[in-house]
Amino acid sequence: MKIQSVKDLEQIRQDYSQRLYYPEAVKVNIGMASCGIAAGAKASFDKAIQEFPNGNGIDISQTGCIGFCEVEPLVEILGPGKPRVMYKNITEDKILETIQDYNENKFNKKWILGQMRDPRSLLEDDIENPLAGVTPLEEIPFLEEIPFYHKQVKIALRNCGYIDPDSIEEFIAKDGYFAFLKALHDMEPKEIIQQVKASGLRGRGGGGFPAGIKWETCARHNGDRYIICNADEGDPGAYMDRSILEGDPHSVLEGMLIAALGIGSNQGFIYVRNEYPLAVKRLVSAIKAAVKYGLLGDNIAGSDFNFNIKISTGAGAFVCGESTALMASLEGQVGRPRAKYVHTVEKGFRQNPSNLNNVETYANVPAILLKGADNFAKMGTTHSKGTKVFSLVGKIKNTGLVEVPMGISLKDIVFDIGGGVPRKKKFKAVQTGGPSGGCIPEQFLNLGVDFDELTKVGSIMGSGGMIVMDQDTCMVDIARYFLDFLKEESCGQCNPCREGITAMLDILTDICTGNGKEGDIELLEELGMMIQKFSLCGLGTSAPNPVLTTILYFRDEYEAHIKDKKCPSGVCKPLFHYEIDEEACNGCTLCAKRCPEEAITGEKKAPHEMEQEKCIKCGICYDACKFDAVLIK
């Protein structure tokens, strides 16, 4: 069937709303994004399908990731007239029992994350809450009441975890493609761009350039214009784009279609990271389905508008997240950035005007058109509107993807949503913006997170990775880690970046191995300033950030490494050793059992001893001890 009008979409929406909201049989949604699969969701899914192959009153379905990665696999179960319940940590051994638990109305609290109060997304206020007439369960919290979800507002992630990513119909049932048809039939290109401008949407990939202005500039230049989606999510510790592509690929396609209408383009490209095979698979399937329904291809929805999307896979080069490098790579060449005297909106891919936005940016666009620019601009701060997805990872209790309004404080994100640092350790810093960003210390926890505030403290928003660090993270080592990453990833064509990063890395490696000298810190600062000023592209100009912010906020750690030859966090091996605190050790023998080198000896219930010559500082005893008796000296 080819979709011609909003009426056709409405028909599909009606038909599939049933499946989403009012199932005739018990429906089991298993979160099957890469992270869920790695946690065991695929095994659970296979087991469930094997047990209920032909339905038998149970419908097994897949969804994307609902964000709470810490307690995956996540399984949601809904049934006619019954509450929707989200179960946590449902591995293969528990899945059948979980379904039974729901069927028999037992609702074992230990396995339940929470119940759904309202499964509709922000966009669906024209239909009634399907759970309005259902009696909620007692003593089981609603998802919104759980700290992890309490402060979240989902726009870009609106469908992730709620629909089957391989089903275009379920996407349509959640208002998918309505914004595009509205733009196609009822809006002039200028109006579309005006709406995006009015929303204040800024690029979510790192730079934060206003999307509407970019679109407007691109539309002004003549030539075969291209719409390109940057899905080369390279910042380590950031995976929101992967989650959107795996959980809701059509929202990105719809965003690109709308951009194509606004800018006037017939060809789109998605440059996706090769490390994300599942995202590629779901994109391919989404494009096929959209073509089948006449939403991609020629004469879309009966109009004279043509638009095709091609998927290109990257091959593992961080620098290809930079716009000009990405476009070179799309042309089948080495991904080297060029100087941007002429911007890519004028001469980009194939020397033609090219509009590049990232996955999350495009995913926001349909919501802006459908709910109105004002509604989007209502959220956030003066210069950063809407919401932003952050991946909250590292030394944090509730690892996961969180979408919050711009301007929310770091403290809210790390402690209220993230639950703080595990194992009663002390919070040290949060790193934002990937290798181009910086480390933000405790004193700035009340900072409202938006593009400008993060820049003020020396970091950047970047693509939204937030890596939480505790007392056991060495800030010098982190700076060294990022430079090591950037040295590998520098394309090598400009001197300041190639040689400068190597020089800084050499100094940092010296510091971490106990060979640091007086004056090293000042030299690092000087080199950093030089690289920032004279590098060709964004990779180089932002490369010193992790070093400069750690020097700014954690200078004492650098000094401890250089002057005292000590690593206070116990990371840089030549600069510390472990000792057992005789008073704290109660002789539980756990460390001795775990030690791979048999360096720890002692009688049961008596303080243990460590032989320094045998110790390889692997840290297993330090992690294993429950009584803080293994000390870093």
Taking the C-alpha atoms of residue 33 and residue 401, their distance in angstroms, rounded to an integer, is 12
Measured CA angle at 391 (ends 390, 393), to 5 deg: 140
Residue among 136, 316, 519, 574 that touches other proteins (CB under 8 A) = 316
Q: Does 38 bind other proteins (CB under 8 A)?
A: yes
Is 488:481 a contact under the CB 8 Å cutoff?
A: no
Rounded to the nearest whole angstrom, what is the least distance from the CB of residue 545 to other proteins in the complex? 14
Q: Does 601 bind other proteins (CB under 8 A)?
A: no
Residue among 53, 332, 456, 633 that touches other proteins (CB under 8 A) = 332
Q: How far is CA 618 from CA 334, 405, 611, 622, in A?
A: 39, 41, 14, 9
Beta carbons within 8 Å of 234's beta carbon, 6+ residues apart: 273, 318, 320, 321, 434, 489
Rounded to the nearest whole angstrom, what is the least distance from the CB of residue 334 to other proteins in the complex? 4
Residue among 1, 54, 596, 633 that touches other proteins (CB under 8 A) = 596
Q: Which of 207, 290, 307, 212 is nearest to 251 (CA)?
A: 290
Q: Which residue number, 199 or 352, has a Cβ lying nearer to other proteins?
A: 352
Q: Does 248 bind other proteins (CB under 8 A)?
A: no
Q: Which residue number, 72 or 403, has a Cβ lying nearer to other proteins?
A: 72
Q: Which of residues 81-110 bind other proteins (CB under 8 A)?
A: none
Q: Does 275 bind other proteins (CB under 8 A)?
A: yes
Q: Which residue number, 315 or 342, has a Cβ lying nearer to other proteins?
A: 315
Phi-psi region of 434 (alpha: psi -120 to 50; beta: other; left: phi over 0): left
Q: Which of residues 419-448 bind other proteins (CB under 8 A)?
A: 431, 434
Q: Does 37 bind other proteins (CB under 8 A)?
A: yes
Q: Does 322 bind other proteins (CB under 8 A)?
A: no
**Residue labelled with tokens 């979160």:** 31
Q: 469 has which bridge partners? A: 429
Q: Does 618 bind other proteins (CB under 8 A)?
A: yes
Rounded to the nearest whole angstrom, what is the least distance from the CB of residue 477 to other proteins in the complex? 9
Q: Does 578 bind other proteins (CB under 8 A)?
A: no
Taking the C-alpha atoms of residue 229 and residue 232, their distance in angstroms, rounded to an integer, is 9
Rounded to the nearest whole angstrom, what is the least distance from the CB of residue 315 to other proteins in the complex? 3
Q: Does 554 bind other proteins (CB under 8 A)?
A: no
Q: Which residue number, 200 or 433, has a Cβ lying nearer to other proteins?
A: 433
Rounded to the nearest whole angstrom, what is the least distance from the CB of residue 137 to other proteins in the complex? 27
Q: Does 276 bind other proteins (CB under 8 A)?
A: yes
Taking the C-alpha atoms of residue 444 and residue 626, their distance in angstroms, rounded to an integer, is 31
Rounded to the nearest whole angstrom, what is the least distance from the CB of residue 481 to other proteins in the complex? 5
Q: Is 54 exposed, middle or buried (0-12, 13-18, 19+ CB in 10 A)?
A: exposed
Q: Which of 403, 323, 482 is nearest to 157 (CA)?
A: 403
Beta carbons within 8 Å of 623's beta carbon, 6+ residues apart: none
Q: How far is CA 369 from CA 16, 297, 620, in A?
A: 23, 22, 53
- Region from 97-105, 107-115, 239-247, 606-614 binding other proteins, contact rule CB under 8 A: 239-247
Taking the C-alpha atoms of residue 146 and residue 283, their distance in angstroms, rounded to an integer, is 32
Q: Which of residues 483-512 bind other proteins (CB under 8 A)?
A: 485, 488, 491
DSSP of 68-94: -GGGPSPEEEE-TTS--EEE-S--HHH
Measured CA angle at 228 (ends 226, 234), to 5 deg: 155
State the chain's maximal CA–CA distance in angstroms: 83
Residue among 25, 49, 127, 334 that touches other proteins (CB under 8 A) = 334
Q: Does 215 bind other proteins (CB under 8 A)?
A: no
Which one-letter DSSP state was computed for residue 497? H
Which one-letter DSSP state was computed for residue 442? G
Q: Which residue number, 123 or 414, has a Cβ lying nearer to other proteins?
A: 414
Phi and psi angles of residue 13, each rounded to the nearest 5 degrees, phi first: -60, -45
Number of residues lying near other proteins (CB under 8 A) = 58
Q: Which residue number, 215 or 318, has a Cβ lying nearer to other proteins?
A: 318
Q: Does 312 bind other proteins (CB under 8 A)?
A: yes
Is 219:225 a contact under the CB 8 Å cutoff?
A: yes
Residue among 333, 351, 382, 601 that touches other proteins (CB under 8 A) = 333
Q: 430 has which bridge partners? A: 440, 468
Rounded to the nearest whole angstrom, what is the least distance from the CB of residue 118 to other proteins in the complex? 26
Q: Does 274 bind other proteins (CB under 8 A)?
A: yes
- Region from 189-197, 253-261, 286-294, 329-337 binding other proteins, contact rule CB under 8 A: 329-337
3-state SS class at 100? helix
Q: Does 203 bind other proteins (CB under 8 A)?
A: no
Which one-letter DSSP state was computed for residue 137? P
Q: Does 372 bind other proteins (CB under 8 A)?
A: no
Q: Is 622 exposed, middle or buried (0-12, 13-18, 19+ CB in 10 A)?
A: middle
Q: Which residue number, 55 or 492, has a Cβ lying nearer to other proteins?
A: 492
Give the H/E segment covering residue 44.
helix 41-51
Q: Which residue number, 282 or 395, has a Cβ lying nearer to other proteins?
A: 395
- Region from 36-44, 81-89, 291-299, 578-586 binding other proteins, contact rule CB under 8 A: 36-44
Residue among 70, 76, 360, 557 that touches other proteins (CB under 8 A) = 70
Q: Which of residues 467-486 bind other proteins (CB under 8 A)?
A: 467, 469, 473, 478, 481-482, 485
Per-residue x/- track, 382-401, other proteins (CB under 8 A): ---------x-xxx---xx-
Peptide bond between residue 73 and the one before it cis (omega within 30 degrees of 0): yes
Terminal-residue alpha carbon distance, the chain: 71
Q: Which residues of the chain form contacts with other proteins (CB under 8 A)?
A: 34-35, 37-39, 69-70, 72, 233-239, 242-243, 274-276, 312-318, 329-335, 391, 393-395, 399-400, 431, 434, 465, 467, 469, 473, 478, 481-482, 485, 488, 491, 594, 596, 618-620, 623
